[in-house]
């Protein structure tokens, strides 16, 4: 049996995931407010609003406080000479092994929230899909991108 990958994401990734979940929950609350306003003008049942709000608050707690912590504790990765190994998931744990020979493109990406915390994600593209290592320090992400790209070039049988 293979050992668990030992590289972890930075703790700041937890903040980013919580902020993202908070913004999503604000959107859901705005939809509930919209339903409440519509129920006043279009004769919708207003009793439905309370269970919807309770559900959104409960979901918000789970998505903001519980899930990011579980995600962060589980997320691991390891870069080997011939492959990249990823381990992630909360309820369904995925272990992905990407052979270097299959890597077509490696990139870093940053949205505004990641940029605020000086974080980036490394994306690894193969012919089948794109894999992502989220929540890395900018410097670490840049070094990792260059390192994986170098290993992928060396693994390319066409060179």
The predicted-structure confidence for 124-150, as pLDDT tens digits, reads as follows 999 989 999 999 999 999 999 999 999
Number of domains in the chain: 2
Residue among 75, 81, 77, 76 at smallest CA distance from 148: 81
3: in domain: no
1: in domain: no
32: in domain: yes
Q: Tokens in use for 25?
A: 């929950």
Whole-angstrom Cα distance, residue 38 to residue 50?
14
- 36 burial (CB, 10 Å; 0-12 / 13-18 / 19+) is middle
Q: Are residues 90 and 150 in the same domain?
A: yes
Q: Are residues 14 and 52 in the same domain?
A: yes
- Boundary-marking domain end, from 71, 96, 113: 71
The predicted-structure confidence for 116-129, as pLDDT tens digits, reads as follows 999 999 999 999 89
Q: Are residues 97 and 63 in the same domain?
A: no
2: in domain: no
Structure pTM?
Answer: 0.86
What CA–CA distances, in Å, run from 125 to 82, 98, 109, 110? Answer: 15, 10, 13, 16
Consecutive H or E run containing 123: strand 119-125
Name the residue range of residue 46's domain: 8-71
Q: Does residue 6 surpass a pLDDT of 70?
A: yes
């Amino acid at each position: 049996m293979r050992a668990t990958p030992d590289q972890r994401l930075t703790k700041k990734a937890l903040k980013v995931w919580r902020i993202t979940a908070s913004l999503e929950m604000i959107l859901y609350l705005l939809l509930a407010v919209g339903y409440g306003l519509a129920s006043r003008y279009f004769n919708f049942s207003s009793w439905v609003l309370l269970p919807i709000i309770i559900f959104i608050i409960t979901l918000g707690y789970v998505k903001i406080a519980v899930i990011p912590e579980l995600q962060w504790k589980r997320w691991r990765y390891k870069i080997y000479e011939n492959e990249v190994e990823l381990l992630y998931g909360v309820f369904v744990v995925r272990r992905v092994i990407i052979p270097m020979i299959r890597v077509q493109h490696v990139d870093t990406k940053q949205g505004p929230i990641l940029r605020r915390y000086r974080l980036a994600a490394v994306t690894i593209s193969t012919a089948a899909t794109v894999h992502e290592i989220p929540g890395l320090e900018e410097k670490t992400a840049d070094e990792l991108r260059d390192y994986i790209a170098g290993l992928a070039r060396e693994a390319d049988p066409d060179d």
